[in-house]
Structure 1
């Protein structure tokens, strides 16, 4: 009897999951059509969006890609520009929106969540709603904060999640579980980037899958907020992330005579942006965009092999999100 009831519950839940996934629309064709127009937001669109507060939430290693952030002993910002810098300049200087790039942390997800909470409370005090543009770890922190703080969900008018590994990243798994002891080799290096093993473990598939399972109801409620998830796919194309792309696509850096000599990951295999499998970047019931040729770094900093202009991409995503934004 108990087993029969458990089976019935399982079938019900799986049916709900399938139903939610069916609700999601593939906005990729609409994205490319709008992106090709290469036009700024109209005056009318800008007026509509100016009523919102915009918050940018960077992901892991952001400290090393921000000139004003001295928490990392290593900085690449002079070479790559600031993390989400193009997006911030577009929103602040071109559109004159109230846009703030929140401080992220590669060492503490709790700290990112606290910064998100403070920002939302500021919007509440000002009688405004918020639109979020997040990347990678920043998106996970936002989702978790909205799970924990249900009272703040109504403050959020809309969200764009760029390349967040909602079901985890196999690269984080490979850091701890591999035959070449990467965690030992890199363990003395990551503190210089203000990064901790706890954060890497947080990004792993076990941690994220467990979170999604345990908070299924809350996440389902949160997806009523207008949002778009964006995932990149760079398989077979030039990218600084090619070694990681190969690991997630076939389990190793290179195959010899069709076989992995040193297997770093045992699957399931997927297309990816070099850090996040494409399927992991999607949420049940949420509209999504697939950026073919976009790796995990090019959407937020300036690195080789860029295929998408950051300002045009941001304008396009805002234009797609605008019709469904929750008004004041």
Structure 2
């Protein structure tokens, strides 16, 4: 019959008293939550903006520290009849005497080469003689106290991991947004807003300056195969002006590199058929795909491309995509990643990598290996969505439905609350990160380093470039006019680069 040493029972009592914040004599001790020093000090304030999470983190840290100090030298091992002499647990049994009468035995299993002693045992040996210890085998041992720091360390590591995970979740993409502007290796941008506004005003008065000596290629963004009106109005108006305009028919839900190859083939085919250079305008992910095509295949395309416009493109990355897909972010807690995989892979028949390519990690990696050519004329267009309550009632025109009500088929507009969705997303990004956005892309991530940036004061959400609004203001420019103004500005930038190059060569 084996009994635990009374010292261990006292230790259990002290643990219970420590949890209650009282010592055995009724004196107050340092509680798990609150002020303290040493190992029980309050954890750093890691969640300044969320006091509830900060208090929870402080409690977890102190609880871990307290439990670790209690169990850093003691752990109970429960095993079968061979727990002390099995191959996996080669222990030595040490019988020590301690307690009030000095004759209460306790059976202890320790690892070879280690020695176990209690406080009472130490005092006894100091006052009288060396402690009586003997080593013998006990195959029938069922439980024992072993000296080990692993339990305390594992507990601390586990709780620290939980705290770090919670911190990453709260921080989200805060450290990634705007990384392009903070990177010293990236070239600065030039503000072209005033020039753009002047061009747009001229277009409103019927002055059009787009040349017909180039071919215009419009590259739609994510889910463009399911938007029947995507860039259709822009192409129609360009054609009426006698301009050669095409919409790239790519599978937008494919990866960036796959679409880059297809765009390269589009450019080469257009140049071969028209003997003209190509001006590209990509919206959202379409701008990323077009930029990737020029980055990856620039030696083959440098004589075929006159410039690139990136409209509302997450060139630096998207916080929405990152928060859905990154480990430890919001998508982990509500299975958003799984839902997006089912939506893109099963329903739309796309590739989840199309969304992954828009995360900050992927964009940083890609731009590090494949930056845009410095000599390429580039214009970037970023906007800010309105978050006013009136926008929540906005409906956007996405398609037409033909109804045979009479002898002639009647067309009924198909509308969706895209404006309301963009406003809600913009509000979320504003509250969580303090960043302005068009609903999906933050303003700073849409500005391409080395480009001429257009920052309009007009509130335009991410979907506005794709679909016309039902309550469009007559005096405001529509999406086709904005595209025309952006491409006209690009032509001017390209001419300026050519002039600088000619002057440099002279």
TM-score tier after normalising by the smaller chain length: 0.7 to 0.9
Question: 1:243 maps to which residue?
Answer: 424
Please show how residues 269-284 of structure 1 align to structure 2 within 5 Å: 269-284=434-449
Unaligned runs of 5+ in 1: 1-12, 67-81, 252-266
* 1:232 to partner: Cα distance: 1.2
Distance 1:286 1:300, change over 3 A: same
1:96 aligns with 2:96: no
Aligned to 2:214: 52
CA contact (8 A) 2:423 2:461 kept: no
In the TM superposition, residue 14 of structure 1 has moved relative to its aligned partner by 5.5
- Separation in 1 of the partners of 2:467 and 2:192? 24
Q: Confirm or deny: 8 A CA contact 1:41 1:315 kept in the other structure.
A: no
Indicate if the aligned counterparts of 1:52 and 1:128 stay in contact, CA closer than 8 A: yes
Match for residue 264 of structure 2 among 117, 138, 149: 117
SS at match of 1:288: strand
1-side partners of 2:246 and 2:276: how far apart? 14
Cα distance in 2, alignment partners of residues 170 and 305 from structure 1: 29
Distance 2:335 2:251 in 1: 25
Choose which of 294, 297, 302 in structure 2 pairs with 1:149: 297
Residue 145 of structure 1, CA deviation: 1.3
* 1: CA distance, partners of 2:279 / 2:338: 40
Partner SS state of residue 455, structure 2: strand
Q: Is the 8 A contact 2:220 2:252 kept in 1?
A: no
Cα offsets for 1:247-276 (capped at 9, x unmatched): 32222xxxxxxxxxxxxxxx5x42111111
8 Å contact kept, 2:378–2:451: yes
**Post-superposition shift, 1:290?**
1.6
Determine the structure 2 residue equivalent to 1:198: 353
TM-score (norm 2): 0.50
For residues 308 and 300 of structure 1, what CA distance do their matches in structure 2 show? 14
CA distance in 1, matches of 2:309, 2:206: 18
Say which of 486, 491, 496 aligns to 1:322. Answer: 491
Mapped partners of 2:309, 2:217: distance in 1: 11
Q: Which has the higher helix share?
A: 1
Match among 287, 309, 314 for residue 139 of structure 1: 287
Secondary structure (helix, strand or coil) at the match of 1:154 reads coil
1:28, distance to aligned residue in structure 2 (A): 1.7
Distance 2:206 2:466 in 1: 19
Indicate the residue corresponding to 1:31 in structure 2.
196
Structure label with greater radius of gyration: 2
Work out which of the residue numbers 471, 481, 496 in structure 2 matches 1:312: 481
Distance 1:314 1:211 in 2: 27
Count, aligned residues: 271
Tell me what 1:175 maps to: 324
5+ residue gaps, structure 2, are 1-181, 392-418, 499-506
Q: Is the 8 A contact 2:380 2:446 kept in 1?
A: yes
Q: Secondary structure at the match of 1:325?
A: helix
CA RMSD of aligned residues (A): 2.3
Per-residue CA deviations over 1:210-233 (Å, capped at 9, x if unaligned) read: 222233xx42xx242222100111
Given that 2:386 and 2:461 are in contact with CA atoms closer than 8 Å, whether structure 1 keeps it comes out as: no
TM-score of the superposition, structure 1-length normalised?
A: 0.75
Cα distance in 2 for residues equivalent to 1:207 and 1:15: 19
Aligned equivalents of 1:294 and 1:154: distance in 2?
34
Distance 2:258 2:362 in 1: 18
